[in-house]
Amino acid sequence: MDQFIDMIAKFLKMGIDAIFKFINFVWGWSFGNIVKIFQSDWQSLPIWKMVVLGIVVAAIAYVLYKAIMQLWKSAAQILHAFIALLGVFVTLLPQIIIAGLIAAAGSYVIQNVNF
Distances (CA, A) of 96 to 23, 89, 91, 93, 103: 42, 10, 10, 5, 10
Tell me the per-residue pLDDT of 28-37, one tens digit each, with 9 for 90 and over.
999 898 888 8
Q: What's the pLDDT tens digit per position in 37-86? A: 888 787 888 989 889 988 999 999 999 999 999 999 999 999 999 999 99
Query: Do residues 56 and 100 share a domain?
Result: yes
Gyration radius from the chain CA atoms: 29
Same domain, 14 and 30: yes
Flag whether pLDDT at 1 surpasses 80. Answer: no
What is the number of alpha carbons within 13 Å of residue 27 lying toward its C-beta? 7
pLDDT of residue 111: 92
pLDDT at 43: 81
Q: Classify residue 31 by its DSSP letter.
A: H
Tell whether 51 and 62 lie within a shared domain.
yes
pTM above 0.85, yes or no: no
